Amino acid sequence: MPKISLKGAAMPASPIRKLVPFAEAAKKKGTRVYHLNIGQPDILTPQVALDAVKNANIKVLEYARSEGSEEYRTKLTHYYKKHQINVSHQDIIITTGGSEALLFTLGSIADAGDEIIIPEPFYANYNSFSNANTLKIVPVISSIDDGFALPPIDEFEKLITPKTKAILICNPGNPTGYLYSKEEISKLKEIVLKHDLFLIADEVYREFVYDGLKYHSVMAEEGLDQHAIMIDSVSKRYSMCGARIGCVVSKNKEVIASVLRYSQARLSPPTYELIAAEAALDTPDSYFVEVLKEYTLRRKTLIDGLKSIEGVKVASPKGAFYCVVELPVQDADDFAQWLLEKFSDNNETVMVAPASGFYTAKERGKKQVRIAYVLNQKDLIRSVELLKLALEQYNA
């Protein structure tokens, strides 16, 4: 029998989705599953975006431009300006989701065997994108004990080799909810300039920042024009995960030209989704005020609830809508599967994402899970109750 490629065999399963068959089996038995495993908001998508698709008078569903329409990219520059990001439409390539944006970026800046330094734990699909480009992730370890703060810069410096091409961060962070300060971004700026590296920032959660803190983009840093690359997406900002519209933003013309060639190879981003994304930019600021108020309440409900469970350790997130939780178990993967296969209370259970998939060395996240607080307050309260009961039963 012919064999698949080594990189195909090495492609990791998603820790966020790999337990789906067990969740589906539980539902077929009549069990209600509270999904804390995936960042799928229940916030309503802006009506203006849905109406734009519904009212589009299209007779022929044509290809879009490979880089996205000039109208949409120009409109994006006005949105970015509100966040102190001054770019032109020529600095933006529209992609099929933030995932494709990162895939094309890594393909554009690094060759097989090159290395990307990433603070760990990190979004699990960074592993997949790196594997697809035959790159090596070199982790710099952050800790739950200090809220997953940026490790000391000398820890980054120790890891830099002739193969190092970039430092990649997620700000605010998935899965940790950590928000990098301006001072931390400045420290990263110093090291990428010193070693002539790229600084890639996945900034799709910029709207979700708490406690009066401020988001600071790598694109707002002076002197980083040739080094900074921003990854963005409409998925979380407008609760449009299914739209699959993202972008790469950089003032480095060689990077943009290369990403464009990748974009031309896949022809174009999807037309209806582009229509929705462009219309979504007309969403009033009041939408984000209400969304942030709701997530602030959900964060407090979840974090307070988790801290009340004996043996649980959690880092309070400063942004996004995730937290990493350390549980009083020896194997969080086994516990997460057990929740779906063997536990229920009044025909209800919870689904979490084992954190081992957010680390390069799985044993580092062996006792941890990622929880997304994308459910309403009532469901979050019930989810914490179920988690507490489950831990008691599992450890008994």
| Judgement on whether residues 219 and 327 belong to the same structural domain of the protein | no
Say what angle helices 285-307 and 377-395 make with each other, to 10 degrees: 30
Residue-averaged pLDDT of the chain: 96
- Token look-up 């091409």 returns 165
pLDDT at res. 365: 92
C-alpha of 40 from chain center: 11
CATH number at residue 275: 3.40.640.10
Domain assignment of residue 1, yes or no? no
Q: Average the pLDDT over 91-100 and give the result.
A: 98
pLDDT at res. 229: 98
User: In which domain, by residue range, is 350 found?
Assistant: 6-44+286-395
Domain assignment of residue 327, yes or no? yes
pLDDT in tens, 261-296: 999 999 999 999 999 999 999 999 999 999 999 999
Q: Average the pLDDT over 150-159 and give the result.
A: 94
* Residue 377, C-beta contacts closer than 8 angstroms, at least 6 positions apart: 297, 298, 301
pLDDT in tens, 13-23: 887 788 999 99
| Judgement on whether residues 163 and 198 belong to the same structural domain of the protein | yes
| Judgement on whether residues 94 and 224 belong to the same structural domain of the protein | yes
Establish how many alpha carbons lie within 13 A of residue 142's alpha carbon, considering only the half-sphere containing its beta carbon.
Answer: 25
CB 258 within 8 A of CB 108: yes
pLDDT in tens, 362-384: 889 999 999 999 999 999 999 99
pLDDT at res. 198: 98
Global confidence as pTM: 0.96
d(CA 115, CA 106): 10
